[in-house]
A and B are shown apart, each in its own frame.
Chain A
Amino acid sequence: MRALLLLLLLLASPLRAEEVVLGLSRDTVSITTSFDGSEILIFGAVKREEPIPEGEPLQVIITVTGPMAPVMVRRKANVYGIWINQDAVEVDAAPSFYAVASTGPMREVLRDVEDLRQRITLDRVIRSVGAPMNIMDAASFTDAVIRVRQNQGLYQQLEGEVTLDEQTLFRTAIRLPANLTEGDYETRIFLTREGRVVSSYRTTIGVQKVGMERWLYEFAQENALLYGLMSLAIAIAAGWGASEAFRLIRQN
């Protein structure tokens, strides 16, 4: 038994030859009233028991993934001269936010097999099980999700944006846009050599509303009737207040 364990440890040890020690500039992002996006610094070091291995240099890939949710993608088509929504495909799960940063071009730092296994590039992160039978080009719907969200700054492909010094110290900065969804943002760091993942590390960054934002959001969800009445009361009070204020101004 003990011999077996020892053997397992020996087999496992080459994988652990290089390990990530991580630092984050912040592990929670608070959405306040004045929230206007945020930048997170992700930095760390590679811990080694042995000298740096020979061969191709170490590469680092860093991903930040927002909460996954299904997305309905509709495509407009021209029918009798009018552009209307025609085909629709439901993408089963797509992250609300996704940033992938690497030390070099993706096809150089990562092999397809590893990408498939670890789901690192955007194409692999978005899951689409099946489109309706009548839609031949289901892939173009997934591409549309990527394109639309890239334009909104929600999907970021940051090739070459990770700096790696002496094959040991790495760092990158990820910009979180203002239109951020609440939830746990999974942060993953992969160390690769010759396109193979030699070590990985994961942690989460919590993004949540605080203060008044939190209170209003929960109120709207949990006490919808009261919240609706409150909204109406505010509206009527503001309408009445302004009307009275103007009357006073006119009288003077």
Chain B
Amino acid sequence: MQIYLPIAEVSVDAFLILGLGGLVGILSGMFGVGGGFLITPLLFFVGIPPAVAVATSANQIVASSFSAILAHFRRRTVDLKMGTVLLIGGLIGSGLGVILFNYLKAIGQVDLMVRLCYVVFLGVVGFLMFVESVNAIRRSRKPIGPRKPSARRHKSWIYAMPVKMRFRISGLYISVFPPLLIGLFVGVLAAVMGVGGGFILVPAMIYLLGMPTKVVVGTSLFQIIFVAAFTTMLHAITNHTVDTVLAVLLLLGGVIGAQFGTQFAMKLRAEQLRVLLALLVLAVCGKLGFDLLVMPSELYSLSRPGGV
């Protein structure tokens, strides 16, 4: 069924978009990632103009994350206090990120920088997660293995910082600065790469802060909702590129997918979940890296002057 999108000014197959939304929704519910790093390239692929794809996927992320976080709230797996600290850092970071983005645009290499960011961060994060979670699975298979007692007992410098705060749900008593800085860093990346930042946030919370995997997903969704909402408003006001019809189609698929994703996540073990996310992240990284290295079939590209 073809449907004409008023802002994107193209006609697309409604079921194709619903399917894309559903796929990303499943991932969002399973891993607590907004799915922006997947949906934006997928939208390019079906012919949505890049500026509209970036802005609209931010809007869609709000919907699927909201649907997913409600499920987490009911199971009390959201650390609101930690989420708020991360969010404060995140909003400052996305403000800085927008400034950086505009600077890159002025020197004319924003496309390349965004792609390189994707390749580098997805590559590093995916690789580290994969190695770690495979090791974890191997350890758990050994019946009476020599358990390393404190692999998750953290870096001492993180514990040495001042202004400590108790995060009861995460079971942590640490300084506010590490989460603030992580939030800030993710905020910058989110603004530059046009994503929620979950794929950085989730591993950072697990490996740097040492939060339990169960609360990580809900807490990162909490932060992502606000950052994505902020981005949506920014795009709607400055570029008029949020396409509501496209967003509704995506989120119809997305909210349903997110519910299934949360169910799947309950059935899998934490390590298995992490291996899957790591493989997915590496696959996207590989595809983007491949595109940079292989000669494109069309060397020329058209865009509106001044536009993204």
A residues near B (Cβ < 8 Å) are: 31-37, 69-78, 81-85, 88, 90, 141, 144-145, 147-149, 178-182, 209, 212-214, 216-217, 220-221, 224-225, 227-232, 234-236, 238-244, 246-247
Can you list 26 contacts pairing A with B, beta carbon distance less than 8 Å?
A35-B11, A70-B305, A72-B306, A76-B300, A76-B301, A83-B294, A84-B109, A84-B292, A85-B111, A90-B305, A145-B300, A147-B298, A178-B2, A182-B9, A227-B244, A228-B237, A232-B59, A232-B233, A234-B247, A235-B62, A238-B67, A239-B63, A239-B70, A239-B251, A243-B66, A244-B70
- Range of interface residues on B (Cβ < 8 Å): 35 or more
* 14 additional contacts (CB under 8 A) given A75-B299, A243-B70, A243-B259: A71-B305, A73-B300, A83-B294, A178-B2, A178-B11, A181-B9, A220-B7, A228-B237, A231-B247, A238-B251, A238-B255, A239-B65, A239-B251, A240-B67
Q: How many A-B residue pairs have CB under 8 A?
A: 186
Which among B3, B47, B232, B256 is the interface contact of A228 at CB below 8 angstroms? B232
Residues of A within 8 A of B71 (CB): 243
Residues of A within 8 A of B66 (CB): 235-236, 239-240, 243
Please provide the 8 A-B residue pairs with the shortest distance between their CB atoms, ordered closest to farther: A228-B236, A239-B66, A178-B11, A242-B255, A144-B300, A235-B63, A239-B67, A243-B70
Enumerate B260-308 residues with CB–CB distance to A below 8 Å.
Answer: 291-296, 298-307
1/0 contact trace for B6-25 toward A, CB 8 Å? 11011100000000000000
Tell whether A231 pairs with B232 under 8 Å between CB atoms, given A76-B299, A85-B111, A225-B237: yes
Residues of B within 8 A of A238 (CB): 63, 67, 248, 251-252, 255
Task: Tell yes or no: B219 within 8 A of A by CB.
Answer: no
1/0 contact trace for B59-98 toward A, CB 8 Å? 1101111111011001000000000000000000000000
Task: Tell yes or no: B108 within 8 A of A by CB.
Answer: yes
Closest to A76 in B: B299
Which among A72, A239, A242 is the interface contact of B302 at CB below 8 angstroms? A72
Residues of B within 8 A of A241 (CB): 255
Q: How far is the CA of A217 from the CA of B66 in the complex (A)?
A: 26
Tell whether A73 pairs with B302 under 8 Å between CB atoms, given A238-B248, A240-B67: yes
**Distance (Å) between the CB of B91 and the closest chain A CB?**
16
Residues of A within 8 A of B62 (CB): 232, 235-236, 239
Are A81 and B293 closer than 8 Å at their CB atoms? yes
Q: How far is the CA of A81 from the CA of B292 in the complex (A)?
A: 8
Residues of A within 8 A of B245 (CB): 33, 216
Q: How far is the CA of A90 from the CA of B306 in the complex (A)?
A: 10
Closest to B56 in A: A231
**Distance (Å) between the CB of A149 and the closest chain B CB?**
8
Tell whether A224 pairs with B108 under 8 Å between CB atoms, given A73-B300, A179-B11: no
Are A32 and B296 closer than 8 Å at their CB atoms? no
Among A82, A144, A147, residue most surrounded by chain B Cβ atoms (within 10 Å) = A82
Task: Tell yes or no: B258 within 8 A of A by CB.
Answer: yes
Are A72 and B303 closer than 8 Å at their CB atoms? yes
Closest to A37 in B: B11
Task: Tell yes or no: B192 within 8 A of A by CB.
Answer: no
Residues of A within 8 A of B256 (CB): 242
Which among B70, B229, B301, B307 is the interface contact of A240 at CB below 8 angstroms? B70
**Distance (Å) between the CB of B113 and the closest chain A CB?**
10
Task: Tell yes or no: B103 within 8 A of A by CB.
Answer: no
Q: How far is the CA of A33 from the CA of B303 in the complex (A)?
A: 25
Are A235 and B295 closer than 8 Å at their CB atoms? no
Task: Tell yes or no: B120 within 8 A of A by CB.
Answer: no
Q: How far is the CA of A74 from the CA of B301 in the complex (A)?
A: 5
Residues of B within 8 A of A239 (CB): 62-68, 70, 251, 255, 258
Task: Tell yes or no: B4 within 8 A of A by CB.
Answer: yes
Are B232 and A88 closer than 8 Å at their CB atoms? no
**Distance (Å) between the CB of A1 and the closest chain B CB?**
52
Are B298 and A148 closer than 8 Å at their CB atoms? yes
Task: Tell yes or no: B242 within 8 A of A by CB.
Answer: yes
Q: How far is the CA of A76 from the CA of B302 in the complex (A)?
A: 12
Residues of B within 8 A of A148 (CB): 298, 300-302
Are B236 and A224 closer than 8 Å at their CB atoms? yes
Task: Tell yes or no: B240 within 8 A of A by CB.
Answer: yes
Residues of B within 8 A of A149 (CB): 302
Which among B4, B74, B240 is the interface contact of A33 at CB below 8 angstroms? B4
Are B237 and A84 closer than 8 Å at their CB atoms? no
Are A224 and B240 closer than 8 Å at their CB atoms? yes
Task: Tell yes or no: B128 within 8 A of A by CB.
Answer: no
Residues of A within 8 A of B306 (CB): 72
Which among B4, B232, B299 is the interface contact of A35 at CB below 8 angstroms? B4
Q: How far is the CA of A83 from the CA of B303 in the complex (A)?
A: 18
**Distance (Å) between the CB of B119 and the closest chain A CB?**
10
Closest to A242 in B: B255
Which among A34, A88, A182, A235 is the interface contact of B3 at CB below 8 angstroms? A34
**Distance (Å) between the CB of A39 and the closest chain B CB?**
15
Which among A36, A77, A234, A246 is the interface contact of B4 at CB below 8 angstroms? A36
**Distance (Å) between the CB of A219 and the closest chain B CB?**
9
Are A34 and B2 closer than 8 Å at their CB atoms? yes
